[in-house]
């Protein structure tokens, strides 16, 4: 059982509400579920599409084709019919549908609220799958039970009307226990909470915004403060101030917003203040295509902030890794007193996945001091906040700690935190900070994750593009190396890992081979080929298979650039089709 459904409707007409409801309903039967949304940067007028896939086997990625298309309005049909291998369900405007639901006529005939149209269409779709009607009734009761009685009754009647559909496509059944369905950004949010985060400050920017919407919704239960600042710089500085005070805090944005936050990064680097930045990448440069996906901001993140100072860059690729790496980012920030960047992208951030559970994250504070210091300082002497140590990490008393008085500013400083322009002091502090890199490489799991089948060929990827690769892993003759830890780079160990391979290729969702060029700065690696896509959509599994077959014909040499398999597919302006 592996079924793919696409739901399409004009923006504001409920495609995503239907898609998310379907994802929850299929997960209730124990199926593995993925729900991937696509939409233009319009509130009204463009076409929204959500891809729902459910399966009784492990799945990782959405696919391009559909077994069922539910088109609310004619635009979805015109765009997506070519990608539908099964049936088309449509309202009365889709005259070529295999199953036409005269929704407006039924609503008028039974004197129902016009807003029940989507429940009616959803019910008709579920009826074609022989989905247990009672589960849908239970959810409708939960959704509308607290509202006016007539609203609930209208929606329940819509369910009954939808289930009068006699068309049957397949039969779904209960195959296991209900699974949790969660988006990438919700997983990042849960990870932050599990990692001890107490303050999230932000200025809205797609596709990072839904992380903060989630935190706002759970703030009381999770006991976190969520602050919308007046701009991105303020959002970053609020979080920096909280971390300086010993309260775990984060900020988040996308590439354009992070460009404004950049001036805060080097201050954190010099003051050695713990800080977590969440960046969900989208299509650039500039405003670009704000609601589409790309992996092109790696060098922006690595180069953020003037001067040399250590930082950590993480790029989780699955919803489980999103939770785990975000939670541990707060540990890393405090243990090493530096900025930690957690990179996502629109694809991972906004796609929903079914999961079973998450692991517990243990809190580690490192050398951040929350209790009074017994050693009494002589008159005129300050605490050695930036004391030279072998591991590069000094004790960091939070403000108000007895005998821990110090200064944290954007100026170079001596061990006691006073500003200095002494050249030898400057040299010592640079070397002290840089020692953190060796300490991190020694103490943390910094190696990429290897999926091995003992091949002599290797595919390398980072972030979310592990998902389509895992989807086809059993169909390709490659080992796979996934960089979820980007920086610092463990040069010696990674070179040992890759030297056994005769052919090495990269798979990236950008045009400039970002990870390949980045790794070449640190390790001895020469790629034989790259598979690149930069249309604004992720790589789909069938595209990767086709690209690898093409490369095989060329002895795995060169660059394979992926496009889209259609002439017109612009959700922003569907009216161009007439």
Q: Residue 119 burial (CB < 10 Å; 0-12/13-18/19+)? A: buried
* Predicted local distance difference test score (pLDDT) of residue 377: 81
CA dist 295 and 313 (Å) reads 14
Binned at pLDDT 50, 70 and 90, residue 568 comes out as: low
Mean pLDDT, rounded, for 271-289? 97
CB neighbour class for 7 (10 Å; exposed up to 12, middle 13-18, buried from 19):
buried
Contact 395, 363 (CB under 8 A): no
**What is the predicted pLDDT for the residue at 569?**
63
Residue-wise pLDDT for 446-478, tens only, equals 999 999 999 999 999 999 999 999 999 999 999
Asked if residue 362 lies in contact with residue 395, where contact means CB atoms within 8 angstroms, the answer is no
pLDDT-based confidence at residue 385 (cuts at 50, 70, 90): very high
Token look-up 């170079």 returns 412
The percent helix, strand, coil of the chain (3-state, each to 5) is: 40, 20, 40
Of 392, 411, 432, 310, the residue nearest 424 (C-alpha): 432
pLDDT tens figures, 50-105: 999 999 999 999 999 999 999 999 888 988 888 899 999 999 999 999 999 999 99
CA atoms within 13 A on the CB side of 216: 10
Q: What is the pLDDT of residues 528-550, one digit of tens each?
A: 999 999 999 999 999 999 999 99
Contact (CB, 8 A) for 295 and 306: no
Mean predicted confidence (pLDDT) in 329-333: 98
**Rg, C-alpha atoms of the chain:** 26
The length of the chain is 578
Work out the pLDDT band at 224, boundaries 50, 70, 90: very high
Residue 567 pLDDT exceeds 90: no
Please list the alpha-helical segments (H only) found in 163-227. Answer: 184-194, 209-222
Q: Are strands 485-487 and 312-314 parallel, antiparallel or unpaired?
A: antiparallel
Output 577 or 295, whichever has higher pLDDT.
295
pLDDT exceeds cutoff 80 at 573? no
Cα 188 to Cα 211: distance, rounded to the nearest angstrom:
7
Mean pLDDT of the chain: 94
Q: Is the distance from CB of 8 to CB of 16 less than 8 angstroms? A: no
Q: How confident is the model at residue 379 (pLDDT cuts 50, 70, 90)?
A: confident
The tens digit of pLDDT for each residue in 4-15 reads: 999 999 988 899
Q: Which has the closest alpha carbon to 290: 196, 206, 414?
A: 206
- Which residue has better confidence, 566 or 267? 267
373 burial level (CB within 10 Å; 0-12, 13-18, 19+):
middle
Q: Are 32 and 55 in contact (CB under 8 A)?
A: yes
Domains belonging to the chain, first-starting first, are 2-162 (3.40.920.10), 181-355 (3.40.50.970), 367-444 (no CATH), 449-562 (3.40.50.920)
pLDDT of residue 78: 86
The per-residue pLDDT for 578 is 60
pLDDT at 394: 97
The per-residue pLDDT for 574 is: 67
Q: How confident is the model at residue 45 (pLDDT cuts 50, 70, 90)?
A: confident
The DSSP bridge pattern shows strands 225-228 and 249-253 to be: unpaired
Q: For residue 545, report the phi and psi dihedrals to the nearest 5 degrees.
A: -60, -45
**What would the two tokens of residue 17 be?**
């509400």
Helix axis angle, 255-271 to 232-244, nearest 10°: 30
Please give the biggest Cα pair distance in the chain.
88
Neighbours of 113 (CB within 10 A): 16
Exposed e or buried b per residue across 124-151, where buried means at least 16 C-beta atoms within 10 angstroms of its C-beta:
bbbbbbebbeebbbebbeeebeeeeeeb
């Amino acid at each position: 059982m592996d079924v793919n459904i696409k739901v399409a409707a004009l923006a504001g007409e409920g495609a995503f509400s239907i898609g998310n409801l379907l994802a929850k309903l299929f997960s209730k039967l124990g199926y593995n579920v993925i729900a991937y949304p696509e939409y233009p940067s319009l509130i009204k007028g463009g076409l929204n599409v959500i891809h729902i896939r459910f399966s009784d086997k492990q799945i990782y990625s959405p696919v391009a084709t559909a077994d069922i298309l539910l088109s609310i309005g004619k635009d979805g049909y015109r765009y997506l019919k070519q990608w539908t291998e099964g049936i088309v369900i449509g309202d009365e405007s889709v005259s070529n549908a295999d199953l036409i639901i005269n929704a407006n006529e039924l609503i008028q005939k039974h004197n129902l609220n016009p807003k029940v149209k989507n429940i009616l269409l959803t019910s008709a779709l579920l009826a074609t799958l022989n989905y247990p009607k009672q589960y849908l009734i239970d959810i409708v009761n939960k959704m509308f039970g607290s509202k006016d009685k007539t609203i609930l009754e209208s929606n329940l009647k819509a369910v009954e009307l939808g289930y009068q559909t006699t068309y049957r496509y397949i039969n779904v059944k209960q195959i296991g226990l209900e699974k949790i369905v969660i988006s990438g950004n919700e997983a990042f949010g849960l990870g932050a909470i599990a990692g001890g985060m107490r303050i999230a400050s932000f200025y809205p920017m797609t596709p990072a915004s839904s992380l903060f919407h989630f935190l706002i919704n759970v703030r009381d239960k999770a006991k976190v403060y969520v602050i919308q600042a007046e701009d991105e710089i303020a959002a970053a500085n609020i979080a920096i101030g909280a971390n300086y005070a010993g309260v775990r805090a984060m900020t988040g944005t996308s590439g354009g917003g992070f460009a404004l936050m950049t001036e805060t990064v080097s201050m954190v680097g010099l003051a050695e203040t713990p800080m977590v930045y969440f960046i969900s990448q989208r299509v650039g440069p500039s405003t670009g295509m704000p609601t589409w996906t790309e992996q092109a901001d790696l060098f922006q993140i690595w180069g953020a902030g003037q001067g040399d100072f250590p930082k950590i860059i993480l790029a989780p690729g699955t919803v489980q890794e999103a939770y785990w790496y975000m939670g541990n980012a707060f540990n890393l920030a405090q243990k090493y007193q530096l900025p930690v960047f957690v990179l996502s992208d629109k694809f991972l951030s906004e796609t929903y996945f079914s999961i079973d559970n998450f692991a517990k994250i243990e809190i580690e504070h490192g050398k951040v001091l929350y209790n009074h210091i017994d050693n009494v300082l002589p008159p005129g002497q300050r605490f050695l906040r930036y004391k030279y140590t072998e591991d590069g990490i000094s004790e960091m008393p939070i403000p108000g700690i007895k005998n821990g008085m110090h200064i944290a500013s954007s100026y170079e400083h001596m061990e006691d935190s006073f500003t200095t322009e002494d050249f030898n002091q400057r040299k010592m502090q640079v070397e002290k900070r840089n020692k953190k890199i060796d300490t991190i490489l020694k103490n943390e799991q910094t190696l990429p994750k290897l999926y091995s089948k003992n091949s002599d060929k290797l595919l390398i990827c980072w972030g979310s593009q592990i998902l389509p690769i895992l989807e086809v892993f059993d169909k390709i003759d490659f080992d796979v190396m996934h960089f979820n830890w980007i920086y610092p780079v463990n040069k010696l160990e990674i070179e040992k890992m890759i030297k056994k391979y005769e052919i090495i290729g990269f798979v990236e969702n950008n045009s400039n081979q970002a990870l390949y060029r980045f790794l070449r700065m640190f390790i001895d690696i020469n790629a034989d080929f790259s598979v690149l896509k930069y249309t604004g959509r992720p790589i789909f599994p069938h595209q990767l298979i086709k690209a690898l077959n093409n490369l095989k014909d060329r002895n795995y040499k060169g660059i394979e650039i992926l496009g889209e398999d259609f002439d017109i597919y612009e959700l922003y302006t569907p009216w161009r089709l007439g």
